Amino acid sequence: MAWITDYSFGCVKVAGHTYSRDLIVCGEQVLSPWERKEGHRLFLEDLSWALALQPRVVIVGTGAFGRLYISREVVKCLNEMGINLRGFKTGAAIKEYNRLIDQGEDVIACLHLTC
């Protein structure tokens, strides 16, 4: 599993590689840029790549100031799929992701890096 390190507004380091665009991290796999239907709203189709990997937990980093809105549809659908969805400001999301991978959890991080 790849640790996420060195986050600052608009920039993050994953397994030694620096990213300056939103991204999804799953194990050693990274999808960047992670583009969404609407920049500051999260819809189910925005998670298609991540959900295809069938995680137990999806961590959403909602930005440094928490401006990425997670739609009710996403919450409802992931709950029905038995996937634990957790949303945090991005700095806290990274800490939670690293904590869970340290515990061996099957987790994916979807991170909005700016606002």
Structural domain tally of the chain? 1
* 43 contacts 36 by C-beta, under 8 angstroms: yes
Q: Write out the residue range of the structural domain in which residue 23 sits.
A: 4-111
Give the pTM: 0.96
Check which CATH number belongs to the domain holding 47 and give it: 3.40.1230.10
Beta strands in the chain (DSSP E): 4-8, 11-14, 17-19, 23-26, 29-31, 41-42, 57-61, 69-70, 84-88, 107-111
pLDDT digits (tens, 9 = 90+) for 4-52: 989 999 999 999 999 999 999 998 899 999 999 998 999 999 999 999 9
Distance (Å, rounded) from C-alpha 73 to C-alpha 33?
A: 23
* 50 contacts 26 by C-beta, under 8 angstroms: yes
